[in-house]
Amino acid sequence: MIWQPLLLTARLKELGVDDLPLFYMNSEDLFARAVELMPGGVNSPVRAFRAVGGTPRFIKSANGAKITDIDGRTYIDYVGSWGPMILGHADAEVVTALAQAATRGTSFGAPNELEVEIAEEIIDAVPSVEMVRMVNSGTEATMSAIRLARGVTGRNKLVKFEGCYHGHGDSLLVKAGSGVATLGLPDSPGVPSSLAESTIIAPFNDPDALEQAFNQHGDIAAVIIEPVVGNMGCVPPQKGYLNAVRELTSRNGALLIFDEVMTGFRVARGGAQELYGVLPDITTLGKIIGGGLPVGAYGANRDLMGHIAPAGPIYQAGTLSGNPLSMTAGLITLKRLRDQSVYKRLEHATAKLCHGLSAAAAEAGINTVTNRVGSMWTSFFNREPVTGWTTANKSDCRLFGRFFHAMLDQGVYLAPSQFEAGFVSLAHDDEIIDRTVTAARKAFKNLGETGKG
C-alpha cells in the first residue's frame, strides 16, 4: 500500500515545491532536511541509524507500547525513549497532570514543593541516598558526582570500565559504550589529554584488573560503574563482582559511584543496589525519575552531600533543575512504582519476550545470546556469553542490522544498535509480547533462508 502523504509529496516535488509543509512530509523528506540543519540530521548520534543503515523514522506520536511515525506506520516499541517510559508512552495520569502543571508555570527558577516531594520519594526508595540534588540530565548527574568525589578526596584520577557509558563529559569519553561504540568512534577529539590521562580503564566483570589499577595508582578519587551495563547492550555483573568492586574501592580510600541513570527504578524500585545488595557512596539517577521529561539527579549520605554548594564549597548549579514539569511527571511515575507487583509484571513480560526471541533464533539456526536483568535486555548476535566489552564486540553487527530492518518491516521497533539495551514497559502485555515473538520468528527464518552473512 502506498500512503497518500507519500503520493502528495512526490507530486509536489514534481511541481518544484521543495519547501513542503510537515503534514505532507515523510521520514526520508524530513531526514534530508534535517541533515542540512543538524549534525548527522539528529540530536543524539544513535538515532541516525548509522549502525543499521537506512533512514531513521521520524516519530509523530506514541501511546502505550507503540509509536507511530509520520508515514503512518505503527510499531511495537522496545526503545521506550531509551528507558524512561516504564509506564508506557503517554500514560493518562502523567499527561493529565502535566497539562495541569503547565498552566501553573513551566519553570520558576525558585524552589517548589514538587522538588521536596520527589526528593522524599527517591530517598525512600534508594538505599544509599540520604540527600539528593536534582539536575537536568544523566550526563550532568555523573559529571557532578565525579566533581563531588574529587572535591572530597582531594584526588584526581577516575576509574571507569570499558564499554560503559556515563554521558559525554570529558573525563568519561574514554573507551565509552553507547553511541561511541555504535559508531565505532575513537576516544573523542576535543577531550584534553590531561583529562584522558586521569581516566583509568578496566574491563567489566574482572575484579583482578581493578585491583591491579589500584596497585598502580595511589591517587584514585572514584570508581564509576554501571552496576548493570546497558550501554554495550545489557551485561549483568557476575556473581560477587559488585561486592569485590565495593571492597576494593573502600580499602583504597576511593569513592564508589553507581551510575543508575538506567537501572534506577528499572531493575528494582531501589535500583541495582537494592537488587544486588551492594551500596555505593554516590548514586546517579535519570530517565525514569523524570517520567519521560529531561531530568537527572545525584545523591549520597548526608556527610558527602553536605559538601555541595550552598551547604559546602563544591559548586554545582542548574537553571532548570527541579523544574515543575519534570518533577510532576517523575513524581507520578515513582509513586506508581511503589507497588511491587509492577516489577513482577515487568519480570514476567520480559522473561517471556527473551525466551521467545531465543527460541525463535535457535529454530532458525541463528546464534544469539540474550542477556536480561529485570525489564532490561539485549539479544546479541554472538556465539559466546557476553560478559564485557571484549565479548560484546564479537557480535555480528551486520546480521543484527538485517534483523533490525526485518523486525521494523513487521512493525517492531528495536534500538538501532547492537550495543544498546532494550526496555519493556507495563504496556507490553502478553498479546504484545506474542506479536513480537511471532515477528521475530519470521525475521529469523528469513535470515536463515537468505544466508546469515
CATH number at residue 297: 3.40.640.10
Residues 282 and 407 grouped into a single domain: no
What rounded mean pLDDT belongs to the chain?
A: 91
Q: State the DSSP code for 429.
A: -
98 and 68 belong to one structural domain: no
Q: Which amino acid is at 108?
A: F
The β-bridge relationship of strands 131-135 and 199-202 is: unpaired
Residue 169 has pLDDT above 90, yes or no: no
Same domain, 114 and 232: yes
State whether 28 and 107 are in the same domain. Answer: no
Residue 237 in this model has a pLDDT that exceeds 80:
yes
In percent, the amount of the chain with pLDDT more than 70 equals 89
The DSSP output letter for 228 is S
Q: Do residues 188 and 150 share a domain?
A: yes
Q: What DSSP string describes 79-93? A: SGGGTT-TT-BT-HH
* Residues forming a β-bridge with 378: 371
AA letter at 32: A
Chosen domain end from 336, 365, 381: 336
- Read off the DSSP letter of residue 261: T
Kindly report the CA angle at 32 between 28 and 34, in degrees rounded to 5?
110
Shared-domain flag, residues 78 and 159: no
pLDDT exceeds 90 at position 177:
no
Asked if 159 and 371 touch (Cβ cutoff 8 Å), the reply is no
Of the pLDDT bands very low, low, confident and very high (cuts 50, 70, 90), residue 184 is very low
pLDDT at 18: 52
Say whether pLDDT at 166 is over 80.
Answer: yes
Is the Cβ–Cβ distance between 89 and 291 less than 8 Å?
no
Over residues 248-265, mean pLDDT: 98
Helix (H) or strand (E) holding 450: helix 430-450
**Peptide bond preceding 310 in cis form (omega within 30 of 0):** yes
| Domain termination site, one of 336, 351, 381 | 336
| 182, pLDDT greater than 50 | no
Residue 217 has a pLDDT of 93
Residue 80 belongs to domain spanning: 4-90+340-450
Which pLDDT belongs to residue 79?
Answer: 98
* CATH number for 403: 3.90.1150.10
Q: What is the pTM of this model?
A: 0.90
147 and 262 together in one domain: yes
The verdict on 276 and 393 lying in the same domain is: no
pLDDT at site 137: 95
For the segment 80-97, the average pLDDT, to the nearest whole number, is 98
Q: 196, 89, 95, 38: which is closest to 425 by C-alpha?
A: 89
Same domain? 170 vs 204: yes
> What is the model's pLDDT at position 450?
75
The model's confidence at residue 199, banded by pLDDT at 50, 70 and 90, is: confident
Q: Is the pLDDT of residue 252 over 80?
A: yes
Contacts with 244 (C-beta within 8 Å, 6 or more apart), sequence order: 207, 210
Residues 232 and 147 in one domain: yes
Confidence check: pLDDT of 5 > 90:
no
**Closest CA relative to residue 260, chosen from 151, 141, 89:** 141
Considering only 168-182, 206-220, 303-317, which range has the smallest mean pLDDT?
A: 168-182
Question: Could you tell me if 56 and 111 lie in one domain?
Answer: no
Residue that is last in its domain, among 306, 336, 366: 336
Location of C-alpha cell 507511530: 68
Please give the single-letter amino acid code of residue 11. R
C-alpha 415/C-alpha 220 separation (Å) is 35
DSSP letters, 9-74, are HHHHHHTT--S--GGG--HHHHHHHHTTTSGGGSSSGGGG-TTT-SPPPPEEEEEBTEEEETTS-E
pLDDT at 13: 53
CB 191 within 8 A of CB 170: yes
Quick one: pLDDT band at residue 146, thresholds 50, 70, 90?
very high
Catalogue the active-site residues.
165, 259, 287
Quick: pLDDT tens for 288-297.
999 999 999 9
Q: Does the pLDDT of residue 15 top 60, yes or no?
A: no
Taking 80 as the threshold, does the pLDDT of residue 175 lie above it?
no
Q: DSSP assignment of 350-402, as one string?
A: HHHHHHHHHHHHHHTT---EEEEETTEEEEE--SS---SHHHHTTS-HHHHHH
Structural domains of the chain, count: 2
Among candidates 135, 435, 150, which has minimal Cα distance to 314? 150
Q: What is the pLDDT of residue 185?
A: 42
Q: What are the angstrom distances between the C-alpha of 180 and each of 176, 232, 371, 398? A: 6, 10, 21, 17
Same domain, 77 and 144: no
Closest CA to 72 of 24, 19, 12: 24
